[in-house]
Amino acid sequence: MYSKEEAAKLRQQFWISFGQYMKPVPATDGYPVNWINYKTGVKHVFIKMDVNTKKAIISIQLTHTDEGIRELFFNQFEEFKTLFASSMGEQWHWMQDATDEYGKTVSRISTTLENVNIYNKQDWPELISFFKPRLIALDEFWDNVKPVFQNLS
């Protein structure tokens, strides 16, 4: 068991390592990108990555507090479901009403890797191999559909 400080340091080390690993990879548009803190450029639309002692998750989260607007955005994503699946090369879990870590209702499109632990450095290559191709594919997908969501905002 790690102390709070040791655990925080290990989490920070993982994300720094992942960021350094991804740094040479340009975004689809050819520009450098901060992969760890990916900016979609559309308010209330986030690409999130998280990992704990049991699993890793990568997701698109729609966080608008207005249920109708969030539903509109989610429905628009559903219009792109075939393109999304083609871009990702796999099926993801689509939830119109989910709860985030703060107890707020969000919409989420996600995939999960089970049985990994951020505090086990031996799992880090598997975590990087999970996040990297999905993050790159999300960037490519988002580059194609972003104008539609900018027009909805």
Residue range 66-112, pLDDT digits in tens: 999 999 999 999 999 999 999 999 999 999 999 998 999 999 999 99
Is 61:102 a contact under the CB 8 Å cutoff?
no
- Please check whether the domain covering 4-152 is classified as CATH 3.30.1460: yes
> Hey, is 36 helix, strand or coil?
coil
The pTM (predicted TM-score) of the whole model is: 0.93
111-114: long-range pairs with CB below 8 Å, 24+:
111/57, 111/58, 111/59, 112/55, 112/56, 112/57, 113/55, 113/56, 113/57, 114/54, 114/55
Is 127:14 a contact under the CB 8 Å cutoff?
yes
Going from the C-alpha of 63 to that of each of 28, 101, 149, the distances in angstroms are: 24, 12, 14
pLDDT, tens only, 1-25: 778 999 999 999 999 999 999 999 9
Sign for the pseudo-dihedral over CA of 28, 34, 36, 41 = negative
